[in-house]
Structures are given as C-alpha cells and as structure tokens.
Amino acid sequence: MELDLLYGFIGDHESGTSPQLLSNLHDRRKLTPEQIAEDPALEDGDSNGLNDEAAYPTQRGVVITKIEDIFESIADCILDEGKELVIPLKTRPRNITVANKDDPTKINSSASAESRKITFPSKSPREAWKFTALLRILELSHEALVTGTVTTKRDMYYRDPELFVRQAAVDRYIDDIAYTFGVGRDALNVVAAAKGLVAGAFSIERKDGSKIYHCTEPEGILIPPSIKDIANVRLAYVNWILVIEKEATFRTLATNQYWKDSVAGKGILITAKGYPDIQTRQFLHLLSYQHPTIPIFALVDFDPDGISIMSTYKHGSMSLAHETNVAVPSIRWLGVRSCDFLNTETEIQGLLNLTARDRRVAVKMLAKCVDEEERDVEWKREFRVMLMLNVKAEIQILGNGDMLGEWLDKKLLHAI
C-alpha cells in the first residue's frame, strides 16, 4: 500500500506544468560548481550587504544541487529494488538563543539539532506520509528555483492540500529542509505571505528597476516578501525607526502621519502585528545595515510576550536559528516600561494582573537573563518589578491619538 502511494506520486502526480523530476533524473547532467558560477540565470545578484561572506550568486545553484542529490539517491534506490528510500532531515532546536558576540547577524545556540532519516517503506503510515510530503515540498521548491520564481508557503500548501492536510505541516517541513541544507528559507525560493507593515519617509528600489514611494501609501504598505529583491531603501531625512508590537497602534500613528509630523523629526513605523515574521525581521535588519546611524526603538506591551517580541527582534529565535541576517542588536526599548505608569502624578487606568502563564514565562525569561550576565540589565530589572507587583500593562495605557503622540515626542526627543 505504501509503495502504491509513493509510486503514484512519483509517476502519475500532476502539479500544473511542473516536470516529473524523478522520471528522467538519470538523464540529467548535474550542475557543477563551475557551471553554477558561470550561469547568470542562477545568480541572485547583489546581496545588499546582508551576507557578505555567503556566496549569494551561487547559493541558488548549490541548493538545486542538494535537492537533486536527494532525488538521485531516491532514484537509485528505486532502480535497485529492495533498497530503502531515505530523505535526511535535521529538526531545529527549540530553546532560546542570543546573537553571536563576534557576528551579531548570526545566532548562538547551546542545543544540538536532531538528525534523522525519513524512510520509505516505513513502519508507520505517518512516516510514509511524512516522506511523501517532504518529497513533494522538495519538488515544488526545485521547480521554483529552476524557473526563477518565488512561491509562498500558502501557495505551496494549495498545490496539494489533500496530501499536506494542514498548512502547519508545510510551514514546519520547509523550515526543517532549509535548516538541513544550512540556508535560510528564502534560499528555497519560498517565502511567507506578506504580514508586516511599514510607513514613513522612505522609498524602496527593487532590483528590477521598479520603485515604491512612501507618499503613495501614507498609511503604510506591506513589507516586500523577498528582501533579496530589494536593491536599496532610501530614507528621506529620517531621525528614528519605531517597531510597534500592535497593528492597531501602528494604524493609529500611520493614519495620523506621526512619522511625518513628529516633534522628533521624520521617522519610520514598522509592525509585524505581534510576533515578528522573517520578512519583517530581515527588512529591519536591512535598514539597520544600510543606515547604522539611525536609532531603532521598540514599543511593546509591558508583559512577558511584549519583551519576548522585542527579544526576537534583538537576539533572534532558536526555532529559526539557521536564518541569518535577522537579528538587530541595536534595537532599544522605548516603552512600555514600569516607569511609564509608576512614576506618574495621575492614576493610571488599565493595569492588569499577571496570569499564571504570564508568571511562568516571566520567571523562565528572567532565569535566562540571569544565566547570561551580558543580557540586558534593564530587562532583568523590569521582569523583577513585573513579578513583584504582579502587574502588566498594554500600550493603550499611554493613550490614543494625540496623547500617544505627545508621549512618543517626549520619549524620542530624549532618546535620539
């Protein structure tokens, strides 16, 4: 039954116009490193300085070769009847990481990855399904790389929803494949659907020559899904960049064009609508790399999740430790902090008690800060205040509209 499933997929499965990769693999002449370097169709062009040491022009060809190595190994096993089919896979460590001291664009981790072999035939139906799903994802990624197109994780799921069953399966296996290859997800020509928003005094120049001007969308635009397509981000007399946890707060400030009318000068507003996706983190990293003198600030809730979101921007995350060029060590905490509601003459409305989950997360993050002496001292102090007073506060306690703008003016003027 398992062999019927796999052979049916290999021989008969149709996916639009995609080629049947395994049917003629032995007739394919694999790309050599020299051919990859010489073939302009396999070049990704300017790296924007995002990864100076990585061979961006050859990365696409290298990934194609790695995928074809797996296909060829499977084809050999099929021809040699009785051999087990294997896809090697590394699963990502899950504990928290911090930025590398010597290279802030890289991630340190004390955890080791788990390497395993996904086999077919296998002892369980789930293993057989996993093998087939991984093979299909490799095929779709190979198709995108060879044709030079970029696909989203969502599009990939809808190419074969009956096989994948859930979007989460596609998301997890794409990241595991990228981790196994030692590359970022975008090296597979797969990106997440656009999520983050940006508004401000800027323009984006794409490598195809097209441009996006901030003035055409004063309330914000979606952050481009593929940072590799960006040639340059030009800033028009920008004094600050503000990363905002909540979309509602972002929209309030963008609608009021705070980025243009701030007393602190022109700025950039960014939100990932909660926990940041890779595209938003890469875009912020690009801004910090191209414009290192412009300060970057975070406006998050005074609770464990808010600080965790800020930590993800600043230090990176373990689940995507293989993704480089996403950490922004220079980001600074603008608010909300305990001083914003403790040292005030008027009574603050809207303070909340920590939940049991909040306390567990806060204790765990505080322990991590204590273990790492160089971790932000301010974070340790704020966690202790949070736990001792058993309170948390959302951005909304600062007020809306004009009140929020006045608070930001004062904070930004003091910080920049």
List helix spans (H) across 277-326.
Answer: 278-290, 304-315
Active site residue: 7, 158, 213, 275, which one?
A: 158
Which DSSP letter does residue 186 get?
Answer: G
Clarify whether 157 is annotated catalytic.
no
User: Residue 203: how many CB atoms within 10 A of its CB?
Assistant: 15
Residue 189, Cα to own-chain centre: how many angstroms? Answer: 14
User: Dmax of the chain from CA atoms?
Assistant: 80
Task: Judge whether 97 and 107 are in contact, CB under 8 Å.
Answer: yes
Write 213-219 long-range contacts (CB < 8 A, 24+): 218/254, 218/257, 218/260, 219/251, 219/254, 219/255
Polymer length in residues for the chain: 416
Nearest to residue 132, comparing CAs of 255, 267, 9, 218? 9
Spatial CA neighbour of 290 closest among 50, 109, 2: 50
Q: Which two tokens stand for residue 27?
A: 């007739």
* Cα-to-chain-centroid distance, residue 182: 15
**Assigned token pair, 169:** 């399966």
User: In sequence order, which residues have a C-beta less than 8 Å from that of residue 203 and are 6 or more positions away?
Assistant: 211, 212, 213, 214, 233, 234, 236
How many CB atoms neighbour CB 351 within 10 A? Answer: 15
- 108-123 per-residue burial string, b: 16 or more CB within 10 A, e: under 16: bbeeebeeeebebebe
Look-up of token digits 């243009």: 260
Catalytic residues: 158
